Homo-oligomer: A and B are copies of this chain.
Amino acid sequence: MKNLPINLQEKLSKFQDQWSPKVIAEMNDYQFKLVKVQGDFVWHKHEDTDEVFIVIEGHLIIEFREGEVILQEGEMFVIPQNVEHKPYAEAECKMLLVEPKGVINTGQEKTEQTAENDVWI
C-alpha cells in the first residue's frame, strides 16, 4: 500500500486535453477520474450504471431530454442509469467522475469524443 494522498489539483495540473478522463484512483471495481470539459458533448446514456459528476472548478450544464441541471463548483449530481444526457460547459469545467471501471465516456455512441479508457495520471 502506498501511503501517498491523491491531490486533486496536482493531478489536474498534469493534463490539458478536454473530454478525456484520467483515472486517479480505484475503489473495488469503481474508478475516480478527473476530466476537463468545454463546449458541447454528445447525447449519450450508460445502460448499465449510474454515474457521478462532482464539479471542482467552473460550472457545468447537464441537459436531459426533459430539463437540465446546472452544477456549480462544489456541487455533485448522480446521472441515473439509462438516462440520456449531454454535458455542456461554456468555459472550461474541471470535474471528478465516479463510475464503474470500463464505462465508456460516450456511452452507446462512438464518436471522435470517445476517449481511451484506463488512462492513469
Contacts and interface: CB of A to CB of B under 8 A. Distances in A.
Interface of A is mostly: strand
A66 B26 CA distance: 21
Nearest to A29: B50
A100 B29 CA distance: 11
A67 B32 CA distance: 24
A27 B51 contact: yes
How many monomers of this chain does the complex have? 2
A25 interface: yes
A95 to B, nearest CB: 12
Interface residues of A, number: 37
A98 to B, nearest CB: 6
Given A25-B52, A49-B28, A6 B98 contact: no
A50 B28 contact: yes
A102 to B, nearest CB: 13
8 contacts: A4-B69, A5-B69, A5-B76, A7-B74, A27-B49, A27-B50, A28-B100, A32-B76
